[in-house]
Amino acid sequence: MGVLLISGTSTDVGKTIATAALAAAALAEGRTVAVCKPAQTGIAPGEPGDLADITRLTGVTRTLELARYPEPLAPDTAARRAGMPLLTLADTVAGIGTLNDVDLVLVEGAGGLLVRMGEFTLLDLARKLGAPVLVVAAAGLGTLNHSELTTRTLAAAGVRCAGLVIGAWPDEPDLAAECNRHDLPRITETPVLGAIPAGVGQWERDRFTAAAPNWFEPDLKNLL
């Protein structure tokens, strides 16, 4: 079982759709895939969350959610406000371990790298698992700073950054987006492994799974 963690430079950068695209690309390579979302916020019990979107887009049904909190806040804040237990690092590692019957486990974080998913961050989880982190970045202004902060934090912690993926590449990119796509590898010293077209989260499954492998560079196969 290989494990790849997916973080973002911030919230709303496209982590869930990028995770779905990674799952589709791995399936196209003949891999078996599971997806874990340790903590989900802003979703009521019984409502479909991020994992439902991934299943809808890819057909992956081996999924695991460990904690869910009703308010759309950082998981530790949402847990405290709801009077619910904080997710622990040990329980999360154990949960991911139950998915060891597949080739690849994708673990989607919450918000950015240092957002508390409970008593820990995604960075803590990556160190505990010895797993690499793929960083989903925005296309527009601000992404160079956010991306460099994230990759520097990973490097300082001794965690391998698997690469960057632009989470929502616009249909008509402006000058900032075009320059950022060129500058991100130079600024972060990390390869950009792909860009997910904006709006593909609304596609039907067959269209999404057929197109997803084409959104990534050939080097992505080394991760899958």
Longest dimension (CA), the chain: 46
CA–CA distance, 193 with 111 (Å, rounded to integer): 20
Strands (DSSP E) found in 77-197: 104-112, 133-137, 161-169, 192-197
Q: How many other CB atoms sit within 10 Å of the CB of residue 94?
A: 11
User: Token pair of 88, please?
Assistant: 């622990």
- Annotated binding residues for Mg(2+), written as ranges, equal 16, 50, 108
- Annotated binding residues for ATP, written as ranges, equal 12-17, 50, 108-111
The label of the residue with tokens 């925005």 reads 138
Q: How many helices (H) and strands (E) does the chain have?
A: 8, 7
User: Token pair of 123, please?
Assistant: 């960075």
Which residues, other chains included, contact 224 with Cβ-Cβ below 8 Å and sequence gap of 6+? 22, 25, 26, 29, 31, 104
Q: Among residues 7, 8, 37, 118, which one is catalytic?
A: 37
- Annotated binding residues for substrate, written as ranges, equal 41
Q: Is 37 a catalytic residue?
A: yes
Indicate which residues carry an active-site annotation.
37
